[in-house]
């Protein structure tokens, strides 16, 4: 009986570990889709919620900088090849975002190099790299 029980326990543990990985992967997909939706609709205040609350508190974005985001409408959000794993709890993603200035109607593209990290305590994925840089500086 013991010979059967040990392999059964090992298989169960491996399966549970796989479930945790699948859950984390599903959570990442849900998080990336929700963040993309916020940015596509130009809701950068909502997009702030994807940054770790501790990081937001330690490094708040000035109101003037947040106001700059209101000068643009997002005309395209292209995730390219999607996220690339960078270790067990981190992914990177390069996104092309087309922005239209609401005052001049000029369109330009910014490249957003995103880093997402999984917080094991809160069981959430957080945007570590911050909101996209729309300043136009290289």
Instruction: Say which residues have a Cβ less than 8 Å from residue 89's Cβ, sequence separation at least 6.
Output: 117, 118, 120
The first and second tokens of residue 110, run together, are: 């910014």
On average, the pLDDT of the chain sits at 87
3-state helix, strand, coil in the chain (%, to 5): 45, 30, 30
Delineate the domains of the chain, giving CATH numbers in brackets: 2-127 (3.10.450)
What is the model's pTM? 0.81
pLDDT category at 5 given cuts 50, 70, 90 is: very low
């Amino acid at each position: 009986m013991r010979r059967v029980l040990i392999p059964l326990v090992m298989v169960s543990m491996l399966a549970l570990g796989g479930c945790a990985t699948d859950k984390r992967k599903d959570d990442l997909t849900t998080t990336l889709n929700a963040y993309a939706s916020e940015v596509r609709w130009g809701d950068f205040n909502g997009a702030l919620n994807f940054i770790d609350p501790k990081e937001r508190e330690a490094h708040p974005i000035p109101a003037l900088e947040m106001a700059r985001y209101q000068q643009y409408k997002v005309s395209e959000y292209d995730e390219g090849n999607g996220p690339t794993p960078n270790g067990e709890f981190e992914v990177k993603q390069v996104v092309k975002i087309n922005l239209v200035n609401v005052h001049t109607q000029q369109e330009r593209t910014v490249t957003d190099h995103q880093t997402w990290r999984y917080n094991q305590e809160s069981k959430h994925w957080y945007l570590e790299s911050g909101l996209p840089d729309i300043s136009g500086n290289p």
